[in-house]
Amino acid sequence: PQGMQYTVERIGRYARTLQPGLNFIFPFFERITNRIDIREQVMDVPRQEVITRDNAMITVDGVVFYRVFDAENATYQVSDLDDAIMQLMTTNIRTVMGSMDLDDLLSKRDTINEKLFEVIDEATDPWGVKIVRIEIKDITPQKDLAGAMARQMKAEREKRAAILEAEGNKKAAVAKAEGQKRALILQAEGEKEAEILRAQGNKEAEILKAQALHEIHALEAKGRKSSAEYDAYARERMAEAEAKATAMVSEAIKNGDIQAINYFIAQKYVEALQNIASADNQKLIMMPLEASNLISSISGIGDIAKEVFTKKEGEMNHKNITKKLETQTIQKEEIDEKEQFTKKV
């Protein structure tokens, strides 16, 4: 049948291998010695105990897939092919897994399968057998070891959780510090800009203040200038009036008018009284004064002016008359002030 190969012996010696299909043998001389299934076979490796390199006791089972490609060698190179493969698997599992730590056994099954495949495939090649693949189905540690592993795993997870939490706290602290740093930088920049704006504002205020003071000083100087001009003009007018009055009085004296002499005497008399009254060392002044004589001396000024104006009336024009009237008014104001001061004295 398909998928089978038969080995034939002739008079006790291997003669040929029958392939699937129609085949003939010679009775009495030839006989079929072995029927080989050339399809892929599955062999279950029973559970067995293995001691790892770190002295941990575990129980292991597995499965092996193989296929016979040479019926002659599978028949005559090994007496019991299945048992031979089973024993080979059992011994190599203990050898390979016993040379590894428990953690490696639990985490590196692919490595174990590759090592077992290399060793067993090389050992079964002379038997006409090709190992397809080997799989470790289950690795079971002892109960106390399983509890220890559970505690270890729990500790590892707690450790990882603590590490992750610490890393999270670290990143959070770094992020917070960066945020505070950025906030301080922004605050410093804001304060800097505020100081710059404040300085600019102060500068502009000082400039405006200086301009205002300059304008104020200019206006004050202009006012003082105008006041000085007005004072000079007033003094000039008073000087002109006094000069004209003096000329008029001199003319009256020249003409023999006694009242003009009384005017000068009264003027000097009033000035002397003013100086005496304004002295610092004088607390009380007692002087016999005749107010009527003083007033009569001063009143002579009006008569002098009338006489002069009468003589000059025909010769002066309207403009000169106006100026003399202004001079007379100023003189009268001065005389009134001197008379009031004299009365007070």
Give CA angle at 143 (142, 147), nearest 5°.
115
Is 85 a residue whose pLDDT tops 70? yes
pLDDT of the residue at 225: 75
Q: What is the pLDDT of residue 320?
A: 58
Phi/psi-derived region of residue 128, left when phi > 0, alpha when psi is between -120 and 50, beta in every other case? left
Beta bridge partners of 48: 60
CB 308 within 8 A of CB 252: yes
As beta bridge partners, residue 42 has 65
Question: Tell me, what's the pLDDT at 7?
Answer: 92
Task: Indicate whether 283 pLDDT > 60.
Answer: no
Cα-based angle 339, 344, 345 (whole degrees, multiple of 5): 95
User: Measured over all CA atoms, what is the biggest interatomic distance in the chain, rounded to whole angstroms?
Assistant: 210
Determine phi and psi for 238, rounding to 5 degrees: -65, -40
Quick check: 318 pLDDT over 70?
no
DSSP lists the bridge partners of residue 6 as: 18, 35
CA pair distance 24, 6, nearest whole angstrom: 12
* pTM of the predicted structure, to 2 decimals: 0.45
Mean pLDDT on 238-260:
70
The Cβ-side half-sphere exposure at 342, using a 13 Å CA radius, reads 22
Averaged pLDDT of the chain: 79
Specify the pLDDT at position 330. 63
Number of residues assigned to the chain: 345
Give the pLDDT confidence score for residue 309 in this predicted structure.
47
Which of residues 236 and 124 earns the better pLDDT score?
124
- The region of weakest confidence among 179-188, 192-201, 212-221 is 212-221
Q: What's the confidence (pLDDT) of residue 143? A: 76
Given a cut of 50, whether residue 60 has pLDDT beyond it is: yes
> How far are the Cα atoms of 20, 25, 81, 159 from residue 74, in angstroms, in the given order?
17, 21, 7, 55
Tell me: pLDDT of 233 over 90: no
Q: Is the pLDDT of residue 192 over 50?
A: yes
Q: What pLDDT is attached to residue 228?
A: 73
Residue whose C-alpha is closest to residue 252's, from 265, 263, 240, 241: 263
Compare 115 and 253 and report the one with higher pLDDT: 115
In this predicted structure, the answer to whether residue 172 has a pLDDT above a threshold of 70 is yes
Mean pLDDT across 263-292: 60
Which of 123-132, 271-280, 294-303 is predicted with the least confidence, judged by mean pLDDT?
Answer: 294-303
pLDDT value of residue 285: 57
> How confident is the model at residue 84, as a pLDDT?
92
Q: Average pLDDT of 290-312?
A: 50
Angstrom CA distances, 285 to 70, 281, 282, 288, stand at 168, 11, 7, 10
Contact 33, 8 (CB under 8 A): yes
Structure tokens at 179: 């945020």
- pLDDT for position 321: 53
Which pLDDT band holds residue 215 (cuts at 50, 70, 90)? confident
The residue-averaged pLDDT of 157-161 equals 88
More confident residue, 284 or 94: 94
pLDDT at position 196 is 92
Strands 129-141, 4-10: pairing kind = unpaired
With tokens 């392939």, the residue in question is 19
Q: What is the pLDDT of residue 140?
A: 83
Q: Measured at the alpha carbon of residue 190, what is the angle toward residues 189 and 194, in degrees to the nearest 5? A: 115
User: Is the pLDDT score of 66 beyond 90?
Assistant: yes
Taking residues 103-128, what's their average pLDDT? 87
**Which two three-digit tokens encode residue 144?**
């106390």
